Chains A and B, each alone.
Chain A
Amino acid sequence: MTIRRPSIFAAALLAGGVALAACGSTPASTNKGQANTTSLTCKTSAVANSGAANAPSGAPAPTSAAPIPTANPTSAVTLHEDGSSLIYPYLLALAPELPTAFSNITLSPASGGSGKGQTDAIAGNVQMGGSDAFLSSSQFSSNPGLMNIPIAVSAQAVNYNVPGLVLPSGQTGLHLSGCILANMYMGKITNWNDSSIAALNPGAKLPNLPIVPIHRVDASGDTFIFTSFLTDTNSAWASGPSFGTLVSWPTASQISANGNPAMVQACSANPGCVAYIGVSVEAQASSAGLGEALLQNQSGNFVLPTGTNMASSVSAGASRIPADLAVSLIYQKGADSYPIVNFEYLVVKKTQPSADIATAIKDFFSWALSSSGGATPANLGTVGFIALPSNALPGVDAEVDSITG
């Protein structure tokens, strides 16, 4: 298989020579350098992407309004989808609109976690399995004819519940870095008043409150993209739990939740919490009173998952799209790039049990990818997604076209 995440391998090699102590565990060094407090042990931008040959490219053009095929399946088809709780609100918004274009197709989404989406799609329990994570090379090789087809670009927020936190005026959220987050989840930083957090938030009043890191108990694409970010930014994390839909969690993370909405609930119920939550449920998170962190990108800027910042990551990370469409958009270059951005995939089998189902899946994809179909700014905007970059569409179209009944 091709090496999908060159940055990790390059970084791991280089990190071997770097001191392995945790960032922030040496207050003396963090106090000296304000600008780059995490450089000693955390992977810096120069290190992290030295191996990645990303050709520069412009911002993604809006999705081309490809003509939507009108071939309605000959009989009524229900497309069952199960998986990612991050893509679920989006598909829920698409479901009622689909029959206006295709009277014979019903979309029935469910939210069981990305791991379940992949499993159900492989087993044929559902026609499409939603996943925030692309398939692993072993999943591709052991399931010939399995495809992961992106339909939108999503991002993940890091939320916190820190009563007593006072931010300087003008700062909307706590500044955090991937390295610090990794150290929180590994139990190396245990209190919100830690000097390494203070170094990123000058002028902020940080309470004396234990940090309660929350993780997902189910096999989750959110876990995948979050741990990818930690892997890219913290060498101890990269050589330890690493990234995956399921990882071996350090014992410091003492609370778990099942699905994104449960993450919001668990975070609001547990003061001191820090949690990773997909942007599609950020409305719930903010109404539950959770803060949204500004994450440090490669350029050292602290950014929020806005459409512009996500597009910046896409243009840096998706400049080359491999044939299997498995692309990591984590921790990309660019002054505005938000560090946790991902393609939202639907896992589909190339060979479908009937021609009608194959037609319905093709219809759904072409409709869902079109800006005049499902990918309207309104639909994308309600869940904080953006459309796929135009350079991804040829590959997506080729995969969709290969579906047969």
Chain B
Amino acid sequence: MILLRRRTGGEAPGPAPNSRAEERGHDASVGETVAQVVTGGFGSVPIALLVFILVIMAVTAVPAILFSGTGFFGTYFSPGNYYLAPTVHHGIAAPHAAAYGFLPEMLGTLVTSALALGLAVPIAVGAVLVLTEWVPRWAQGSVGLLLELLAGVPSVVFGLWGVLTFGPFMLSTVSPALTGIVGGFPWLFPWLPQGMAWALLGVAIAAFVVIRASVHGHQRRGLLRKSAIVVFISLWGAAAPWFTGEVNTAGGVLTASLVLALMVVPIIAATTRELVRRVPVLAKEGSLALGMTRHETARVVTLPYISTGVLATSLLGWGRAIGETIAMFFIIGNIFTGIPVNIYHSGATLSSLIAGTLDGVLQAKTDVSALFAAGLFLLVISLLSNFGGRLIIRRVAGDQALPVGRGV
């Protein structure tokens, strides 16, 4: 309210607002009060709603939390069997052999959204750069419109397309090829377990970079960039075994992640397009005048200018990816009984778990409570990643409040 008052005072017209208000007398102050109450009331709705939702979810989740304890981090979820005798645990009765382990769903949520974002950001930025720098001006409008129309495709349509068209294509073509490439690489090092070759490659590059840096005394920035690449390859090495092995389903984690990436692309692209438009023409023309090619201009001028903004809009996309439900429910396969053995297998996200089981479990209070707990986990993951993202942006953007880019 204090903030509101200050703002309304500041926005009052005229050079001497106080005297004006006094002239208008009683009516003006009543109007002010009404405005304050009304706007204050409306303004507090979102906060009240968030608190309300959190409290209701936490309270409803209590029986499942009591029943499960640390079992939430188990790998097996089952609503139990309603036709057999109830299972009693810690004084709470649940359907027979009910188990509420959400670890596969938590991992599924994080992995699908991370993979989706990892693919969507380069695609979106690349598409926008092509659109603004290379596509002729007369075609830019229509191509840009198509890109924005993609954002208007309902997620259920993405889900249908994913499960009926894209999934079978993945199963027959893409996934076998991918597992062949990733799994085929250790052919060079047959004595290593699958995927370990990638980690070895990362270590080799790291050693090379460190040695070169110590010999030549490279700049610190270049070293940072190279070590980032090394870390990435090492991570990939650790993750690579998860990209090998049997392909057995049209849906699955990878298919879901790819469709999710397509759904996130327009969100990132729309903002990125605005950011690219705001890059000062002078800076671009200057670089061109210095003899840089278009490609170099994009790399040296445009990309650094928009990078912070892209990071911020990625955060929006991340939020969208974590919460996406119907497309995930259609595509990911909804297996709640374990962590998928590889990325081509069926998995689940917290949202697909809730969507898939809610209808059937409404008769069992403890099961419903468990789904509320799943929702709580989803909310916590979403809030934590949002805070984390904001922290990163603040660090990168410095003191700037708005995530707009800094020039070169």
Contact = CB atoms under 8 A, between A and B. Distances in A.
B325 interface: no
Nearest to A112: B359
Given A139-B82, A242-B81, A244-B83, A119 B163 contact: no
A219 B364 CA distance: 12
A312 B89 CA distance: 44
Interface string A20-33: 00000000000000
B80 A248 contact: yes
Interface in A225-249: 241-249
A118 interface: yes
B363 interface: yes
Interface stretch (B25-33, B44-52, B164-172): B164-172
B81 A269 contact: no
Interface in B322-362: 329, 333-335, 337-338, 340, 345-346, 356-357, 359-362
Given A217-B357, A249-B78, A139 B363 contact: yes
B78 A248 contact: yes
A255 B251 contact: yes
A243 B164 CA distance: 31
Contact of B249 (A123, A212, A247): A212
A117 to B, nearest CB: 10
Contacts of A210: 246, 248
B82 A251 contact: no
Nearest to B359: A116
Interface size class of A (residues with CB under 8 A): 35 or more
Contacts of A139: 82, 363
B99 interface: yes
B269 to A, nearest CB: 30
Among A248, A249, A265, residue most surrounded by chain B Cβ atoms (within 10 Å): A248
Among B81, B329, B335, B346, residue most surrounded by chain A Cβ atoms (within 10 Å): B81
B250 A258 contact: no
A256 B99 contact: no
Contacts of B164: 265
Given A254-B346, A255-B335, A218 B84 contact: no
Contacts of A136: 82-83
A258 B78 CA distance: 16
B205 interface: no
Contacts of A241: 81
Nearest to A272: B248
Nearest to A271: B171
Interface in A267-302: 269-270, 272
A245 B346 CA distance: 22
Contacts of A269: 163, 167-168, 171, 249-251
B309 interface: no
Contacts of A250: 337
Interface in A142-167: none
B362 A249 contact: no
Interface string B194-232: 000000000000000000000000000000000000000
Interface in B64-117: 76, 78-84, 95-97, 99
A130 interface: no
A265 B340 CA distance: 21
B279 to A, nearest CB: 45
Contacts of B95: 246
A113 B359 contact: yes
A115 interface: yes
A122 interface: yes
Interface size class of B (residues with CB under 8 A): 35 or more
Contacts of B329: 258
A220 interface: yes
A244 B345 contact: no
Contacts of A266: 250-251
Contacts of B362: 116, 119, 123
B81 A255 contact: no
A138 interface: yes
Interface string B166-205: 0110010000000000000000000000000000000000
B337 A246 contact: no
B356 A217 contact: yes
Among B96, B337, B356, residue most surrounded by chain A Cβ atoms (within 10 Å): B337
A256 B359 contact: no
B346 A246 contact: no
A248 B99 contact: yes
Contacts of B99: 248
B249 A118 contact: no
Contacts of A245: 82-83, 360
B83 A243 contact: yes
Contact of A255 (B78, B82, B249, B363): B249
B58 to A, nearest CB: 24
A52 B133 CA distance: 80
A80 B386 CA distance: 43
Given A218-B360, A265-B163, A256 B84 contact: no
B356 A218 contact: yes
Given A248-B99, A269-B250, A270-B250, A256 B80 contact: no
Contacts of B76: 248, 251
Nearest to B367: A246
A258 to B, nearest CB: 7
Contacts of A270: 171, 248-250
B129 to A, nearest CB: 36
Contact of B97 (A248, A251, A265): A248
B162 to A, nearest CB: 11
Contacts of A219: 79, 82, 357, 359-361
Given A113-B360, A255-B346, A256-B335, A246 B78 contact: yes
Nearest to A138: B82
B346 to A, nearest CB: 5
Contact of A256 (B79, B82, B248, B333): B333
Given A218-B360, A270-B248, A246 B81 contact: yes
Contacts of A258: 329, 334, 356
Among A218, A219, A224, A250, residue most surrounded by chain B Cβ atoms (within 10 Å): A219
Given A241-B81, A256-B334, A269-B168, A116 B360 contact: yes
B371 to A, nearest CB: 13
Given A139-B363, A219-B359, A220-B360, A244 B84 contact: yes
Given A220-B360, A255-B249, A249 B82 contact: no
Given A248-B78, A249-B78, 15 more contacts: A119-B360, A210-B248, A218-B360, A219-B79, A219-B361, A241-B81, A242-B81, A242-B83, A246-B78, A247-B78, A248-B99, A255-B335, A256-B333, A256-B356, A265-B164
24 contacts: A116-B360, A119-B363, A122-B363, A136-B83, A210-B246, A212-B249, A218-B357, A218-B359, A219-B79, A219-B82, A246-B360, A248-B99, A248-B337, A251-B337, A253-B335, A254-B248, A254-B345, A255-B333, A266-B250, A269-B163, A269-B251, A270-B171, A270-B249, A272-B248
The 9 A-B pairs of least Cβ separation, nearest first, read: A219-B360, A115-B360, A269-B250, A244-B81, A248-B78, A116-B359, A244-B83, A119-B362, A217-B356
